[in-house]
Amino acid sequence: MGLGGPARYFAHARHDVDVRTAWAWARERRVPLRVLGGGSNVVVDDAGVDGLVLLVDTRGVQWLEGPDEVEVTAAAGESWDDLVRCAVTRSWAGIECLSGIPGRVGATPIQNVGAYGQEVSEVITAVHALDRISGETVTLAAAECGFAYRDSRFKSAEPERWIVMGVTFRLKPGGRPSVKYDELSKHLARRGLTTPTLEDVRESVIAIRRGKSMVYDPADENGRSCGSFFTNPIVDAEHAELVAARVGGAMPRWAQPDGRVKLSAAWLIERTGFAKGTSAGPVGLSTRHTLAIVSHEGAHAHDVIAFARHIRDTVAKQFDVRLVPEPVFWGRLTLDEEEDGSAA
């Protein structure tokens, strides 16, 4: 987002040993350690980070191909979209709908990255991580990662314990692409593609994302954002009916396996009067996507937080649905006024 102050200490890890060295240095001196990947999903306090920021920039991709599956292990610092492009080029199915997402491989299991009908938890078999408690590098099976919607053990249950070093994915050689998402299906249909290839799906996903300013482009007026600022809320079925009754009409919703219902955060935001392009000083909503908060020239982190808080509180007041922010906040940033003492 182009925001935030400096790090007190900074380390650039190009190899796994650099990660271990930085962790040991911070532990010995009792300095807080923050792990940075591509920085595309982080909002940094204007005051900066009073600790060590560790940029994980490790490289390396290995694969073991069999007749029915291929296991791909990528270092945490690898570009996520480069890995997706590599898989699509080699006709390995499983992550084609996750094209165009900025960031690094190591971040994908933390948030259980998903888009257009796919989630990385569907293909992750193992996460290799440094345990900050024991100092050992361990391999966690997918079942141990606590994956949920935009969540994992690494994000919510034990957010300060693990440093992801690498991820292993199980992909399908020669597999058919996944076309579950209605918007993606319609885009492919407009292109006249009834039996799309993996490359066709990747091209359509990137085109859709670009149309929403969700592909990184420094020349785009909406480019300085974290993408979707809020996750889609999941509520009880009864609550979903109450929300629908308040709007008095059709409402986008998706039934979940546990009986609850996922609502559209963008739809809720729009129904409370926040149209695309709505602004408050140097920050505002993207002109192309209601879920993206954009920082314009002169913006500060506290401006973004105040604007996000205003949106969240307005939606909560009208629909009794509390939106949860998707990016990670560094420093004293929080949407809860009682914690940071600021006002919207």
Residues carrying an active site annotation: 150, 228, 326
To which H or E segment does residue 33 belong?
strand 33-36
Count of beta carbons in the 10 Å neighbourhood of residue 318: 15
User: What is 124-168 written as a DSSP string?
Assistant: EEEEEEEETTT--EEEEEGGGS--BTTB-IIIIISTTTEEEEEEE
CA 211, CA 95: separation in Å to the nearest integer? 20
Half-sphere exposure of 66 (CA within 13 A, CB side): 6
Q: Parallel, antiparallel, or unpaired for β 7-13 and 49-56?
A: parallel
CA 168, CA 162: separation in Å to the nearest integer? 16
The closest of 178, 177, 176, 204 to 189, measured between CA atoms, is 204
Strands (DSSP E) along 45-113, which ranges?
A: 49-56, 61-65, 70-75, 92-93
Reading the block at residue 307, the tokens are 């604007």
Rounded to 5 degrees, φ, ψ at 66 are: -120, -175
The closest of 284, 277, 294 to 216, measured between CA atoms, is 294
